[in-house]
Amino acid sequence: MKNKKLTEYQHLFGLIGFPISHSFSKKYFSNKFLNEGINNCLYELFPLRDISELPYLIEDFPNLTGLNVTLPYKELVIPYLDEIEESVKEIGAVNTIKIESGKLTGYNTDAFGFEESLFQFLNENQIKSINKALVLGTGGASKAVKYVLKKLEISYFMVSRDAEKGDFTYDDLTANLIAECQLIINTTPLGMAPKMDSFPKLKYDLLDSNHFLYDLVYNPEKTVFLAKGEKQGCSIINGLPMLYLQAEKAWELWNSIVDKK
Ligand SMILES: NC(=O)c1ccc[n+]([C@@H]2O[C@H](COP(=O)([O-])OP(=O)(O)OC[C@H]3O[C@@H](n4cnc5c(N)ncnc54)[C@H](OP(=O)(O)O)[C@@H]3O)[C@@H](O)[C@H]2O)c1
């Protein structure tokens, strides 16, 4: 069984990106297939040097049923898809592709993962009590976060190192603004292993027990950003619940095809 070729599995799944150094998804889906006795499926890594290689990958593996997409292709992959889910039109980024009878459909399950994890973190009254949110960083992940905040009617400000890209730079954040924004979401990679001692440049002494800190970073489980907030009495959540929820949502999308065949 171990030497089975990739094309011999009924359903092949994988991750496209470049470079792909470590992958949560490969570990997650390989364990899932093993633990749940799903023997007709395999999850592999497909580092593509250029997104223009995607059609050749699809051609080489007619059994490809689903793909996850990571940096730097979450936006660049869109022109290669036959259809995109409604939310992708607004978010502008794809992290999951379903391949059914040769047709490629793009989804963003990060948005689902963020929304569901926010509901696990905060109850309805807490969500209603939020006046405004601060979103730190303006990269790919911030787009799914913005989409969900808009959907939940939570108004937000974007914080960037670059005055052109956000509403504020880190140096612009006044005490009044920090008091007004009870929800602060880190979508930057600051604090992520191996550079675990880095953190967003905030005046942490202005935070108190009215603040909710959400860090999309999941490794380590408690970043310096979260630890500093916790010390001030803030409620905190890391990126692990979102990570699992986005993967489960991808499986839900793919599983509908696996069942049919
Ligand atoms: N938990 C989950 O399920 C989940 C899902 C997706 C992503 N993530 C995590 O979220 C993080 C961001 O992912 P991404 O794909 O959005 O990455 P990205 O596009 O590379 O970067 C995000 C943004 O962070 C800011 N930034 C980057 N380096 C910085 C630095 N040294 N100092 C201050 N700001 C910096 C930049 O915004 P400005 O230029 O505007 O400052 C950048 O656009 C990663 O750690 C990733 O692992 C987690």
Written in H, E and C, the secondary structure of the chain is CCCCCHHHCCEEEEEEECCCCCCHHHHHHHHHHHHCCCCCEEEEEEECCCHHHHHHHHHHCCCEEEEEECCCCCCCCHHHCCEECHHHHHHCCCCEEEEECCEEEEECHHHHHHHHHHHHHCCHHHHHHCCEEEEECCCHHHHHHHHHHHHCCCCEEEECCCCCCCCECHHHCCHHHHHHEEEEEECCCCCCCCCCCCCCCCCHHHCCCCCEEEECCCCCCCCHHHHHHHHCCCEEECCHHHHHHHHHHHHHHHHHHHHHC
Confidence of residue 253 (pLDDT cuts 50, 70, 90): very high
Confidence of residue 204 (pLDDT cuts 50, 70, 90): very high
Report the DSSP beta bridge partners of residue 155: none
Backbone angles phi, psi at 234, to 5 degrees: -75, 155
CA pair distance 44, 96, nearest whole angstrom: 14
Residue-wise pLDDT tens digits, 136-156: 999 989 999 999 999 999 999
237 contacts 208 by C-beta, under 8 angstroms: no
pLDDT at residue number 225:
98
96 contacts 148 by C-beta, under 8 angstroms: no
pLDDT at residue number 213:
98
Strand 156-159, strand 132-136: pairing: parallel
Please check the confidence at residue 76 and state whether its pLDDT lies above 90.
yes
132 assigned to active site: no
- Mean pLDDT (the chain, rounded): 95
Q: In the predicted model, what is the mean pLDDT of residues 15-19? A: 96
Q: In the predicted model, what is the mean pLDDT of residues 81-102? A: 96
Rounded-to-10 torsion of CA 200, 203, 206, 209? 20
Please check the confidence at residue 191 and state whether its pLDDT lies above 50.
yes
Q: Report CA(6)–ligand 1 centroid distance (Å).
A: 33
Q: Report CA(140)–ligand 1 centroid distance (Å).
A: 7
Q: Which residues line ligand 1 (CB under 6 A)?
A: 71, 110, 113, 137-142, 160-162, 165-166, 187-190, 192, 216-218, 239, 242-243, 246
Please check the confidence at residue 4 and state whether its pLDDT lies above 80.
no
Q: In the predicted model, what is the mean pLDDT of residues 230-256? A: 97
What's the whole-model pTM score? Answer: 0.95
From atom 31 of ligand 1, which residue's Cα is the shortest distance away?
Answer: 190
Q: Which atom of ligand 1 is nearest to the CA of 140?
A: 16
Please check the confidence at residue 258 and state whether its pLDDT lies above 90.
no
In angstroms, how far is the first alpha carbon of the chain from the final one?
21
Q: How many residues does the chain have?
A: 261
Q: Report CA(40)–ligand 1 centroid distance (Å).
A: 35
Please check the confidence at residue 260 and state whether its pLDDT lies above 60.
no
Please check the confidence at residue 261 and state whether its pLDDT lies above 50.
no
Please check the confidence at residue 1 and state whether its pLDDT lies above 70.
no
Count of alpha carbons within 13 angstroms of residue 177, beta-carbon side: 18
Q: In the predicted model, what is the mean pLDDT of residues 43-53? A: 97
From atom 7 of ligand 1, which residue's Cα is the shortest distance away?
Answer: 141
**Given 74, 143, 228, 249, the catalytic residue:** 74
